[in-house]
Amino acid sequence: MSGWLISLEGTEAGRDLALALALMAAVLHALFGALQKGRHDPWMSRAVIDLCYGVMAVPFALFVVPWPEPHMWVIFAGAFLIHGAYKLLQAMAYDRGAYTVVYPVVRGTGPFFAVIGAGFVFGESYSAGQWAGVAVLMAGIFGLAAYNLRHVQVERETLVPALGLAVVTGSFVALYTTYDAYGIRATADPFTFLAWFFMIDGVLFPVLMARRLVRLTAREAVPLVRRGVMGAFVAYASFGSIMLATRLDKVGEAAVLRETSTVFAALIGWWVLGEKVGAVRAALMGLIAAGAVVMEWAG
């Protein structure tokens, strides 16, 4: 499969596949965010998900994919630090704000910074229509933030810090998207990067939460492990899809298109988590997604 994917780089078929992968990542990332927020403590949910995908990645990293080239170890170290900071910020934001409040701002802010970063790192350029799409997306983000500040009553006392953390988290989304796109292009086999990334990335949160994990009763552990295994498979498909998309096509376009996940997040927050979305917030989330679609169409 690696050879087939590499053969599609820079082709029209590769662009079409990158589009499909980015859309799949959008749906799955919304689901992943809901799994972390859910009814469990977001710190514990994240720790168990990371533990599951780290352990599950070990045999693939050690025995299935080619071993990383020597220069990849420095890249993996950087990815570990960037993703660690991102996950800490994400958990802090979820601690302070409802899923449908925090998630759209995180995922909407990320592509704005990612487009700029991709221009500097990969020399990508975008048309006026694509920048218009980014502007529409940002209008939806700021409109959603303003509406939440005025109307949301749940966790009201921590809403401003939650939104602030969401914006900072979004900047780290852009940073890891750009950095990981560089990483997956720096190795001959893209699946080498993915397998080793998941194994290494699965270490931090289980270590941070080790004391709480060992104190779990069987009754508490079983549903968390179920969530962890489900989250691991969702993470593989979501992160793997967007990383492969960034290898096949422009990083900025893939990053923006993934943020149609805000629409799916609204649906999950309303249907699964029982959070009220409302017509205005749904429209603003749709505006974020529309900006992503305009950017892709204009390209």
Task: Give tens-digit pLDDT for 234-248.
Answer: 889 988 999 999 998
Residue 224 pLDDT: 87
Relative orientation angle of helices 12-37 and 99-122, to the nearest 10 degrees: 150
194 alpha-carbon distance from chain centroid: 14
Phi, psi at 186, each rounded to 5°: -85, -10
118: helix, strand or coil: helix
Q: What Rg, from alpha-carbon coordinates, does the chain have?
A: 18
Residue 64 pLDDT: 95
> What gap in Å lies between CA 165 and CA 97, rounded to an integer?
10
The CB-based long-range contact list for 270-274 (8 Å cut-off, 24+ gap) reads 270/100, 272/34, 273/34, 273/37, 273/38, 273/99, 273/100
In the chain, what percentage of residues exceed pLDDT 90?
32
Would you state the structure tokens that stand for residue 103, as one six-digit string?
């998630």
Q: Which amino acid would we find at residue 26? A: A
54-68, 77-91, 156-170, 230-244: least confident range: 156-170
- DSSP H helical segments within the chain, as ranges? 2-7, 12-37, 42-59, 72-96, 99-122, 128-151, 159-185, 190-201, 204-208, 210-214, 218-248, 251-258, 261-271, 279-298
Residue with tokens 């209008």: 139
Which pTM was predicted?
Answer: 0.82
Would you state the structure tokens that stand for residue 187, as one six-digit string?
């190795």
Would you state the structure tokens that stand for residue 90, as one six-digit string?
């994400």
> What gap in Å lies between CA 32 and CA 158, rounded to an integer?
23
Q: Which amino acid would we find at residue 250? A: K
Q: Is the pLDDT score of 210 beyond 60?
A: yes
Residue 75 makes CB contacts below 8 A (sequence gap 6+) with 182, 183, 186
Residue 66 pLDDT: 95
Q: Which amino acid would we find at residue 108? A: G
